[in-house]
Amino acid sequence: MSDEKPLPKWLIPGLALFKLFIHLLTNTNYSFHRDEYLYLTEGLQPAWGYLEIPPLTAFIASIIQFLGGSLFITRLFPALIGGAMVWLIGKLVQALGGKTWAVVIACAALIISPAFLRTHTLFQPVSFNQFNWFLVGYLLVRLVQSQQGRYWYYLGIMAGIGMLTKYSIAFYLLSLFVALLISRHRSWFGTRYPYLALLIALVIASPNLLWQYTNGFPLFRHMEELRETQLVNVSTIEFVLNQFLMNFSASIVWIGGLIYLLRHRAASDFRFLGWAYLFTFGLLVFMSGKPYYLLGAYPILFVFGGLAMTQWIRRESRQMVLAGTLVFFNLTSIPMGLPVFPLESMKKYCTFVSNYMGMGQLLVWEDGKSRPLPQDYADMVGWEEMARRVGKFYNSLTPEQQKDCLIWGGSYGHAGAMQHYREKYQLPDNIYSLSSSFVLWANPQADFKTQILVSDERFDSSEWYHQVDLVDSVRNADARDPGYIYYRTDPKVDVKERWKQSIREVKAGYGIE
């Protein structure tokens, strides 16, 4: 007997609130992530572009800074995005005729997916980017259902906002264009609507495109750096395997949704969404993209997966068993996405899942090496300790020594953390880095004779200084970065001129004058 009961009014908002609640309950269990320090600093430096991302995340970061910049407030935003995504998944399933258990299965797939648990915990562009991908798919479904041209305008708006969020949405948009072109819906390209949508998207994205143009398109250099340092370590096998590991048992739902879209007669109007997924998959494999780049394509598959499961499994009792089974089997993988365990327990858990559950691939970092913790977890450890130790040493200097000292973060994580805790640990304004967008804000006229340098590398000498003293480091062994703190004195060269030269060279590498 199929489920023909009316959908309970509380079901969709209840599932969305549950998703929000689990993040509000856990999002302060670990400290800020390395990348979060960068984005929060960008929120203090409003611009139409940055070296690694478009401006939307920084705009949200400026709101977070206005609200106080606490860990809870920072991570409230991705949690809200997660709740909104669950709500929209449920509403779309309902609009497509799905009943109670179709909604539950589709929404539960997103709620229990380890990958989406993590992206809705951390304040990073990926959560907003994935939401944009889903909204594009959502609007296309509504377009097909209604055959109203106005949905193209909404698509143009969303595509433009997506380009202001993360450029990777271009892969999905291109794939959707090709998929629509070979579908029965290609007749739309004989109307004005798609071209007006394109114009709307370009107008919305134009401030960032202009920023890229006037700054020599640093995006291309950033992509080249990614290929050289990170993407080179991504294999096709790793990319494919992670599509299943990232979602774990929820993979059954997206696989069902993909099969349903490609094979089932009832989904023929939306078949282009299945092809768009496959085209995007192929593009990212060809480009050696990171596995998580494809995550934005899964929520729309969850929608059709919920419909598929209840089409193939007609009895309500069996649909209920399926939903319970999905949740049960994903319980063991939830700590990979949601920070529910303290670090020591998390390390033991990671050892267990690696040895006995075949999930060791999730412990491989971007350098291709396996570690005791997932990279994102290690990236949430040690940064405040580093800033505190820098502050302690800096404040041990005499006022004359402080006046002549420049603080240099070897990475954006070092500089971002010191900037975030600057007032708390009585650090000065002159905290700089030549890493990522920090090079845009580095003062070439900085007046200094000595340096406090924070780096993840060990070295005993310098081309700039005769005296290099390792004065402290991060003591937490679980931290990704050792945070070596050096005090460099007795210049060999004109350090102010060398500083100007270094800024020019790094900017030139990005094509920035």
In the prediction, which pLDDT does 365 show? Answer: 85
pLDDT at residue 442, rounded to an integer: 93
pLDDT (0 to 100) of residue 357: 76
Whole-number average pLDDT of the chain = 92
Integer angstrom CA distances of residue 331 from 101, 326, 337: 19, 9, 11
pLDDT of residue 2: 44
User: Within 10 A of 1 (CB to CB), how many other CB atoms are there?
Assistant: 7
Q: Single out the residue of 96, 118, 114, 94 nearest to residue 104, CA to CA.
A: 94
| Amino acid letter for position 160 | G
Count the Cβ atoms, other than its own, within 10 Å of residue 4: 8
Say what the pLDDT of residue 231 is: 66
| 414 vs 429: CA distance, rounded Å | 14
- Spatial contact of 176 and 140, defined as CB atoms under 8 Å apart: yes
**Is residue 389 within a helix (H) or strand (E), and if so which, with residue range?**
helix 383-394
Helices (H), 147-265: 150-163, 169-181, 193-214, 218-229, 236-245, 251-263
Residue with tokens 């060398």: 498
CA separation for the pair 169, 276 (Å, rounded): 12
Three-state DSSP state, 385: helix
Task: Find, among 193, 330, 304, the residue nearest to 249 by Cα.
Answer: 330
List of residues 6+ apart from 281 with CB closer than 8 A:
243, 294, 297
Q: Which residue has the tokens 């998207």?
A: 201
Q: For residues 372 and 478, what is the distance between their CA atoms, to the nearest angstrom?
A: 9
Instruction: Identify the pLDDT of residue 90.
Output: 97
498/464 Cα distance (integer angstroms): 8
Residues of the chain with pLDDT under 70: 1-4, 228, 230-233
